[in-house]
Structure 1
Amino acid sequence: MTELPYETIPVPNDWNRGGLPAWTYHSPALFDLERDKLFLTHWQVVGHEGDMPAAGDWLAFDMLGERAVVMRGNDGVVRAFHNLCRHRGARVVDGEKGHCKGAIVCPFHGWVYNLDGSLRGAARPSSFGELKREDFGLKPIEMEIFHGFIFVRFKEGPQPSVAELLAPYAADFTAYGLDKLLPVRNLDWTAELPVNWKSVRDVDNEGYHVALAHPSLQELYGRTYRDLYLENGLSVSIGWFDEGMARNWSVKNYVRVSPPRPDLPAHLQKAWTYYGLFPNAVFAITPEGAQFYQEVPLGPGRTRLTGRMYRRPDETRQTRLARYLAFRIDRFTSAEDQQLSIWSNESMKSEAFEGFHLSDLEYGLRRHHDGLRRLMPVMTLAEAPPEHRLTRSNEELICQPSNTF
């Protein structure tokens, strides 16, 4: 068994094998609470510095009514702002990514901002009376960069700084050289599912289903796969591949052509590794490249799956081929998980559904649910409170002694 350098939390012997009650997957009032208590107050991944190599390059990120733009300035510094013109609130950039040559020009009335977010000038400035430019720059958003990956947080929240939070990943990320990654052109991806975001995360948070639901992954790393639980909602899932009797075309050829990485520590050689970040993001890394993916909730029953893919700067033809084959394997896996998410979410409205009864191999799912209940104890209620009282019920439970669940 490969020795791993992580301090992990063992699965308790006497843990409660239940999960969240079904009503939490389709309550509009709870979804509003998740917006305010979870998604806007926790770190979200926007992209990578490699996505913005030049001054004026930008990435946009929307989350439940909030809009961010991350841009590289003329001084080379990456900054994050609310994607809101200070005049009437129009988007100052539109789309997922792009480039502003020299300045940001609001498409509504032509207010002009410098690449560092400061206001250069308003159109027809005399019509505003006394307008102090220093008071009308783009509003900044809290942002951190960790090994090249860019994180934003719209509101102050319970998580520590990204550097502190993700410290257990630092050695692996350094070994992979993630700060030097380059984007894979035309392979950003997105999919929209008619499900609550938690149904997607429930599927992704456990490896119990891999053996049956993901034949390609089972052929790739089979019984070597392990889920590991760390502090602060972090997790590491890892599986090792080697030449075997794979029948799947992509798996068989991937294992054959994947170039060795003697520069990596032993536990990362011939490994596919997934680094989870509560509540909704995963970094998936193979010897050939990396990606992040996450769920962006759009409504109680609608979720966008999105992510970006990256390559090594020293990529050879062999590495590129291996990365393509890994992408094929991952594409099939994603399609399988999407169907499982739909089926799981459908069950939450069935009167026959009696709740979860989880395996030890699904402890990651339970652990994620526990994290949600600590933030929003209303989720501990077996029956849904009235929608108009849900927020108040949650506040009342926060004021009570700790619940056990």
Structure 2
Amino acid sequence: MTAPQSLPAWLYTDQRFFELEREKVFAQAWHIMGHINDAPNTGDYLTLDILGERVVTVRGEDGQLRSFHNVCRHRAGKIATEARGSCGHRFVCPYHAWSYKLDGSFAGAPKWQGFENLNANVLGLKPVDQEIAHGFIFIRFAPGLPSVKEMMAPYAEELEAFELEKLIPNGRVTLRPRPVNWKNVGDNYSDGMHIPVAHPGLSRLLAGSYKIESKPWIDKMWGRVTETPSNHWPERQYQKLLGAFDHIPAERRRLWAYYKLWPNIAFDIYPDQVDFMQFVPVSATQTMIREIAYVHPDTSSGASREMHAARYLNWRINRQVNAEDTVLIEGVQQGMESSSYATGPLSPSEVCLISFGNRMRDLIPEAKLERAPA
């Protein structure tokens, strides 16, 4: 029986294929804006720029969150300019001062500009399709995929146990540019085989417990922090702290769980915090990793010295893991440029990479070609 094959290398370097992905993958994909508690008050907003589109999500006068194209209807100015902020009770475009209510409706243009008989009914902000799932806000630009809740359904019960809707932000969104194709970041995230080879600290902590599995729209990776003391001080201290967190159910006290939602959103769920990562495609060879950490309010920064210490140690441990992954994915990206490499065999255990590759080939038939078409 022929072994399954990885996606061809040219898919990770070819700008023409990247344009196909914009149309066939990302136009229909769900993109994460943030969490409902990133915008808790009237007028609070979040923004996202992705693949030439600009979106703003705002909390309305009625308490509802709504998402719109972050584009003024006059001259296409950006009405919300910060990643996260508050506009009060109106958006006012900083270009020509056209204004909009929080429900997106047109509020007016300055009288001195000479506009007469403007039809407010057709000049509101253009809405964007939105869904809130497990406390997170998702948007998309075109229909085609199942709902986020349907895509995450295989793990709905265990995700509900984490009470993600109660999270509050612990800091602000961080952007990390990487000179790699977005698929290389996602492939590495769902790859379990490199853990014992390339991540000695993670291997010490999880002690062979790391596992992966794949469902149609979502992957899961997980491991349990061992009670055997590490010979590295940060890891050993982190292990000790987890053992004392009796407010966390025993079955989750040492669980590190990771979920990757098709095509480019990942959630890292630890006992001490929850992170999301979004692998934002910029070009065929450039990706922006967008991430932020969240915590439960009863264990927020300052409320518990032990929890605060655990988050610091988690950051130290995962900072090293991220540094190791950065070297790996940049090396792979460079290898994709080599004339010697087209595709490689996948182990039957590499279920996440197999599933991802199959979906890409289904969506974009050109992905079946070993070499780039002329």
Residue 389 (structure 1) aligns with:
none
For structure 1, which runs of at least 5 residues remain unmatched after alignment? 1-13, 387-405
Deviation, 1:15, is 6.5
Letter in 1 for 2:232: N
Partners in 2 of 1:183 and 1:95 — Cα distance? Answer: 16
* TM-score of the aligned structures, taking structure 1 as reference length: 0.87
1:42 aligns to 2:15 (yes or no):
no
Q: How does 1:213-292 map to 2 (within 5 A)?
A: 213-230=198-215, 232-258=216-242, 259-261=244-246, 264=249, 266=251, 268-292=252-276
Counterparts of 1:91-240 in structure 2 under 5 Å? 91-124=78-111, 127-157=114-144, 159-186=145-172, 188-230=173-215, 232-240=216-224
* Distance in 2, Cα, partners of 1:126 & 1:365: 56
1:55: how far off? Answer: 1.0
3-state SS of 1:360 partner: coil
Distance in structure 2 (CA, Å) of the matches to 1:294 and 1:213: 23
Paired with 1:98 and 1:112, the residues of 2 have a C-alpha distance of 17
CA contact (8 A) 1:147 1:173 kept: yes
Number of the residue aligned with 2:372 = 384
Deviation at 1:352, TM superposition (A): 1.8
Question: Post-superposition shift, 1:125?
Answer: 7.5
Change (3 A) 1:380 1:314: same
Q: 1:361 to 1:373 in 2, by over 3 A?
A: same
Structure 2 residue 56 is matched with structure 1 residue 65: no
> What amino acid maps onto 1:72 in structure 2?
R
Q: Is the 8 A contact 1:261 1:287 kept in 2?
A: no
Question: Residues 338-368 of structure 1: CA distance to partner in whole angstroms, max 9, x if unpaired?
Answer: 1111000101111122422223342311221
- 8 Å contact from structure 1 (residues 233, 371) kept in 2: no
Partners of 1:241 and 1:206 in 2: CA distance: 19
Q: Which amino acid aligns with 1:150?
A: I
Q: Deviations over 1:149-205 (max 9, x none)?
A: 110101112x2112222122322222111100010024x322111111111112112
1:306 aligns with 2:270: no
Residue 89 of structure 1 pairs with residue 72 of structure 2: no
- Determine the C-alpha separation between the residues in 1 that align with 2:275 and 2:70: 25
**Displacement of 1:129 after TM fit?**
3.1
Deviation, structure 1 residue 216: 1.5
Per the alignment, residue 26 of structure 1 pairs with 13
Matches within 5 A, 1:350-365: 350-365=338-353
Displacement of 1:262 in angstroms is 6.2
Number of equivalent positions:
369
Partner amino acid for 1:352? S
Does the CA-based 8 Å contact 2:213-2:351 persist in structure 1?
A: no
Distance 1:107 1:81 in 2: 17
- Mapped to 2, the partners of 1:261 and 1:91 lie a distance apart of 47
1:240 touches 1:272 (CA, 8 Å); kept in 2? yes
1-side partners of 2:112 and 2:121: how far apart?
Answer: 14
| Pairwise CA distance, 1:130 | 2.0
Amino acid at match of 1:224: S
Give the equivalent residue in structure 2 for 1:322.
310
**Aligned match of 1:369:** 357
Distance in 1, matches of 2:266 and 2:246, equals: 23
Query: Helix, strand or coil for the counterpart of 2:298?
Result: coil
Verify the 8 A CA contact 2:184 2:333 in the aligned structure 1. Answer: yes
> Matched residue of 2:328: which SS?
helix
Q: Distance in 2 between matches of 1:172 and 1:262?
A: 17
Preserved CA contact (<8 Å) 2:343 2:370? no
